[in-house]
Amino acid sequence: MKRPALLLSLMVGSALCASFPELSRVQNVYMLPMSGGLDQYLAKSLTQHRQYQVVTDPKIADAIFTDRLGEPFEKKLLELYPPPPPPEKVVDKTAKDDKDEKKASKDKEKETTVKEEPTVRMGGFSRNRGNIFLVERASQKVIWSLYKRPKSTTPNDMNRIAESIVADLQRDITGKKN
């Protein structure tokens, strides 16, 4: 009777310790600009505690720290990590001449038509201060998040909040409860 209870407690304990298994796969992180310059303080704390390697080249990052999600974040990801261009197709020469004529007429139509893309509203994020997200680059999934609102944007408060964020991150990586 004791053996199944011990096995069950070991399974539950290991599941709790691995509550954020994605965090252990991350080695290099890229910091997007954050409200109040928090990205700078957070980069300092992460480096100081040797939690992650903070990189300045987004292409070598495993994950991205940000305080914003949504359409502006998605556009920034596309800017940082553009999709590969589609492969060029091999076209028959006779079909190419017909297509060139059709393309020329379509280009003339496009010149007269003005495309206007919707404006992405960037305001309002300052009201969202306090959210921190770690987004895995490959899957673009949020693998860790936290809400810690600083009292002010003074250097001491921003440093204190960055240290607190790193402490919470370390706790979630190790699975230890304080």
Strands of 67-167 (E only): list them: 131-136, 142-147
Report yes or no on whether pTM surpasses 0.75: no
* Residue 118 is assigned to a structural domain of this protein: no
* Residue 38 is assigned to a structural domain of this protein: yes
Beta bridge partners of 54: 29
* Residue 164 is assigned to a structural domain of this protein: yes
How many domains would you assign to the chain?
A: 1
Whole-number Å distance between alpha carbons of 169 and 162: 11
Strand 142-147 and strand 131-136: the pairing is antiparallel
> Are 36 and 150 within 8 A, CB to CB?
yes
- Among the residue ranges 5-19, 104-118, 124-138, the one predicted with the least confidence is 5-19
Residue 11 in this model has a pLDDT that exceeds 50:
no
Confidence of residue 114 (pLDDT cuts 50, 70, 90): very low
CATH number at residue 68: 3.30.160
Beta bridge partners of 65: 31, 134
> Are 37 and 158 within 8 A, CB to CB?
yes
- Among the residue ranges 60-69, 93-102, 152-161, the one predicted with the least confidence is 93-102
* Residue 152 is assigned to a structural domain of this protein: yes
Whole-number Å distance between alpha carbons of 36 and 151: 11
* Residue 114 is assigned to a structural domain of this protein: no
* Residue 4 is assigned to a structural domain of this protein: no
Q: Which residues contact 12 (CB under 8 A, 6 or more apart)?
A: none
- What range does the domain containing 152 cover? 20-81+123-174
